[in-house]
Protein backbone atom coordinates (compact mmCIF):
# COMPACT_ATOMS: atom_id res chain seq x y z
CA UNK A 1 0.00 0.00 0.00
CA UNK A 2 1.27 3.46 -0.92
CA UNK A 3 1.99 5.70 2.04
CA UNK A 4 1.06 9.37 2.07
CA UNK A 5 4.75 10.25 1.82
CA UNK A 6 5.13 8.05 -1.27
CA UNK A 7 1.96 9.51 -2.75
CA UNK A 8 3.44 13.01 -2.42
CA UNK A 9 6.80 11.90 -3.84
CA UNK A 10 5.11 10.15 -6.79
CA UNK A 11 3.01 13.17 -7.70
CA UNK A 12 5.82 15.67 -7.24
CA UNK A 13 8.24 13.50 -9.25
CA UNK A 14 5.83 13.25 -12.19
CA UNK A 15 5.28 17.01 -12.27
CA UNK A 16 8.89 18.03 -11.72
CA UNK A 17 10.16 15.54 -14.31
CA UNK A 18 8.11 17.26 -17.02
CA UNK A 19 7.74 20.86 -15.77
CA UNK A 20 10.92 21.35 -13.78
CA UNK A 21 11.44 22.13 -10.12
CA UNK A 22 10.87 25.89 -10.24
CA UNK A 23 7.84 25.63 -12.54
CA UNK A 24 6.03 23.19 -10.26
CA UNK A 25 4.13 24.81 -7.41
CA UNK A 26 3.28 23.28 -4.06
CA UNK A 27 -0.41 23.77 -4.92
CA UNK A 28 0.03 21.70 -8.10
CA UNK A 29 1.74 18.96 -6.10
CA UNK A 30 -1.11 18.98 -3.57
CA UNK A 31 -3.71 18.77 -6.32
CA UNK A 32 -1.86 15.98 -8.16
CA UNK A 33 -1.24 13.97 -4.99
CA UNK A 34 -4.68 14.52 -3.46
CA UNK A 35 -3.21 15.25 -0.03
CA UNK A 36 -3.63 18.29 2.15
CA UNK A 37 -1.00 20.95 2.80
CA UNK A 38 -0.62 19.77 6.39
CA UNK A 39 0.31 16.28 5.19
CA UNK A 40 2.90 17.62 2.80
CA UNK A 41 4.55 19.77 5.45
CA UNK A 42 4.37 16.94 7.98
CA UNK A 43 6.70 14.88 5.75
CA UNK A 44 8.69 17.69 4.13
CA UNK A 45 9.53 20.98 5.86
CA UNK A 46 9.87 22.79 2.52
CA UNK A 47 9.62 22.33 -1.22
CA UNK A 48 13.43 22.17 -1.23
CA UNK A 49 13.40 19.25 1.22
CA UNK A 50 10.81 17.54 -1.00
CA UNK A 51 13.12 18.11 -3.99
CA UNK A 52 16.05 16.50 -2.16
CA UNK A 53 13.86 13.50 -1.29
CA UNK A 54 12.82 13.16 -4.95
CA UNK A 55 16.46 13.30 -5.98
CA UNK A 56 17.47 10.61 -3.46
CA UNK A 57 14.59 8.35 -4.46
CA UNK A 58 15.44 8.83 -8.15
CA UNK A 59 19.03 7.82 -7.43
CA UNK A 60 17.89 4.70 -5.58
CA UNK A 61 15.63 3.71 -8.47
CA UNK A 62 18.32 4.39 -11.07
CA UNK A 63 20.68 2.21 -9.06
CA UNK A 64 18.30 -0.75 -8.72
CA UNK A 65 16.37 -0.50 -12.00
CA UNK A 66 19.19 0.50 -14.36
CA UNK A 67 22.68 0.22 -12.94
CA UNK A 68 22.42 -3.08 -11.08
CA UNK A 69 20.81 -4.74 -14.12
CA UNK A 70 23.16 -3.25 -16.69
CA UNK A 71 26.39 -3.59 -14.73
CA UNK A 72 25.88 -7.19 -13.73
CA UNK A 73 29.27 -8.82 -12.95
CA UNK A 74 28.56 -11.95 -15.00
CA UNK A 75 28.55 -9.85 -18.20
CA UNK A 76 31.69 -8.65 -19.91
CA UNK A 77 32.45 -4.93 -19.42
CA UNK A 78 31.52 -3.94 -22.97
CA UNK A 79 28.14 -5.66 -22.72
CA UNK A 80 27.53 -3.85 -19.43
CA UNK A 81 28.08 -0.46 -21.08
CA UNK A 82 25.98 -1.36 -24.14
CA UNK A 83 23.17 -2.67 -21.92
CA UNK A 84 23.24 0.56 -19.93
CA UNK A 85 23.06 2.73 -23.07
CA UNK A 86 20.32 0.56 -24.60
CA UNK A 87 18.31 0.74 -21.37
CA UNK A 88 18.35 4.54 -21.65
CA UNK A 89 16.87 4.36 -25.14
CA UNK A 90 14.28 1.79 -24.03
CA UNK A 91 13.16 4.00 -21.13
CA UNK A 92 12.83 7.00 -23.46
CA UNK A 93 10.83 4.89 -25.91
CA UNK A 94 8.44 3.77 -23.14
CA UNK A 95 7.90 7.42 -22.14
CA UNK A 96 7.54 8.76 -25.66
CA UNK A 97 10.63 10.93 -25.07
CA UNK A 98 8.69 12.92 -22.48
CA UNK A 99 10.61 14.16 -19.49
CA UNK A 100 14.12 13.20 -20.51
CA UNK A 101 16.55 12.38 -17.72
CA UNK A 102 15.39 13.62 -14.33
CA UNK A 103 18.95 14.19 -13.12
CA UNK A 104 20.00 15.95 -16.30
CA UNK A 105 16.92 18.17 -16.21
CA UNK A 106 17.56 19.18 -12.61
CA UNK A 107 21.25 19.79 -13.32
CA UNK A 108 20.42 22.12 -16.21
CA UNK A 109 17.72 23.95 -14.27
CA UNK A 110 19.30 24.31 -10.85
CA UNK A 111 23.11 24.17 -11.08
CA UNK A 112 23.54 27.92 -11.51
CA UNK A 113 20.98 28.97 -8.94
CA UNK A 114 20.97 26.41 -6.12
CA UNK A 115 24.32 25.29 -4.73
CA UNK A 116 23.01 22.37 -2.66
CA UNK A 117 21.14 20.85 -5.60
CA UNK A 118 24.24 21.41 -7.76
CA UNK A 119 26.44 19.66 -5.21
CA UNK A 120 24.11 16.67 -4.82
CA UNK A 121 23.64 16.31 -8.58
CA UNK A 122 27.39 16.58 -9.14
CA UNK A 123 27.92 13.76 -6.64
CA UNK A 124 25.28 11.66 -8.39
CA UNK A 125 26.95 12.09 -11.78
CA UNK A 126 30.36 11.45 -10.18
CA UNK A 127 29.08 8.09 -8.88
CA UNK A 128 27.83 7.18 -12.35
CA UNK A 129 31.12 8.25 -13.91
CA UNK A 130 33.00 6.17 -11.31
CA UNK A 131 30.85 3.16 -12.25
CA UNK A 132 31.83 3.68 -15.89
CA UNK A 133 35.49 4.05 -14.91
CA UNK A 134 35.39 0.80 -12.95
CA UNK A 135 33.83 -1.00 -15.91
CA UNK A 136 36.41 0.41 -18.33
CA UNK A 137 39.20 -0.51 -15.91
CA UNK A 138 37.85 -4.05 -15.86
CA UNK A 139 37.97 -4.07 -19.68
CA UNK A 140 41.56 -2.82 -19.58
CA UNK A 141 42.51 -5.51 -17.05
CA UNK A 142 40.97 -8.13 -19.33
CA UNK A 143 42.93 -6.76 -22.27
CA UNK A 144 39.86 -5.61 -24.25
CA UNK A 145 40.44 -1.86 -23.86
CA UNK A 146 43.29 -0.16 -25.71
CA UNK A 147 46.21 0.52 -23.41
CA UNK A 148 46.34 4.19 -24.45
CA UNK A 149 42.72 4.84 -23.47
CA UNK A 150 42.25 7.67 -20.96
CA UNK A 151 39.70 5.98 -18.72
CA UNK A 152 38.50 9.07 -16.76
CA UNK A 153 38.00 11.07 -19.97
CA UNK A 154 36.25 8.18 -21.70
CA UNK A 155 33.93 7.68 -18.70
CA UNK A 156 33.07 11.40 -18.75
CA UNK A 157 32.42 11.18 -22.47
CA UNK A 158 30.00 8.25 -22.02
CA UNK A 159 28.03 10.10 -19.34
CA UNK A 160 27.95 13.33 -21.36
CA UNK A 161 27.03 11.40 -24.50
CA UNK A 162 23.97 9.67 -23.11
CA UNK A 163 22.84 12.86 -21.35
CA UNK A 164 23.11 14.68 -24.69
CA UNK A 165 21.19 11.85 -26.35
CA UNK A 166 18.41 12.27 -23.77
CA UNK A 167 18.27 16.00 -24.44
CA UNK A 168 18.11 15.57 -28.23
CA UNK A 169 15.39 12.93 -27.97
CA UNK A 170 13.38 15.15 -25.65
CA UNK A 171 13.90 18.23 -27.83
CA UNK A 172 12.79 16.49 -31.02
CA UNK A 173 10.23 14.21 -29.30
CA UNK A 174 11.78 11.42 -31.32
CA UNK A 175 13.38 8.35 -29.78
CA UNK A 176 15.09 7.61 -33.10
CA UNK A 177 17.13 10.79 -32.69
CA UNK A 178 18.22 9.62 -29.25
CA UNK A 179 18.92 6.11 -30.51
CA UNK A 180 21.05 7.55 -33.33
CA UNK A 181 23.19 9.54 -30.90
CA UNK A 182 23.60 6.44 -28.71
CA UNK A 183 24.68 4.40 -31.75
CA UNK A 184 27.28 7.04 -32.60
CA UNK A 185 28.49 6.88 -29.00
CA UNK A 186 28.79 3.08 -29.25
CA UNK A 187 30.71 3.53 -32.52
CA UNK A 188 33.15 5.86 -30.81
CA UNK A 189 33.66 3.38 -27.97
CA UNK A 190 34.30 0.58 -30.48
CA UNK A 191 37.51 2.38 -31.51
CA UNK A 192 38.87 1.70 -28.02
CA UNK A 193 37.95 -1.97 -27.97
CA UNK A 194 40.56 -4.62 -28.57
CA UNK A 195 39.12 -7.72 -30.22
Task: Write the CA distances from 186 to 61, 157, 165, 183, integer angstroms.
Answer: 25, 11, 12, 5
145-188 pLDDT per residue, tens: 999 999 999 999 999 999 999 999 999 999 999 999 999 999 99
Average pLDDT, the chain: 94
Q: How confident is the model at residue 76 (pLDDT cuts 50, 70, 90)?
A: very high
CA distance 181 to 186: 9
CA distance 138 to 24: 42
Query: Please, what are the domains in the chain?
Result: 1-45 (1.10.10.60), 59-190 (1.10.357.10)
| Intra-chain end-to-end CA distance of the chain, in Å | 50
Instruction: Record the pTM.
Output: 0.90
CA distance 42 to 106: 25
φ and ψ at 193, to 5 degrees?
Answer: -85, 135
Amino acid sequence: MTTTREQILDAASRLIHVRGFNNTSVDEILKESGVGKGNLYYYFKSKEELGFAILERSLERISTELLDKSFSPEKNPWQQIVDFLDSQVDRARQRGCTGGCMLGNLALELSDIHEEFRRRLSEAFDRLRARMEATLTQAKTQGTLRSDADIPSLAHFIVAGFEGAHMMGKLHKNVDVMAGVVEELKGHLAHFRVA
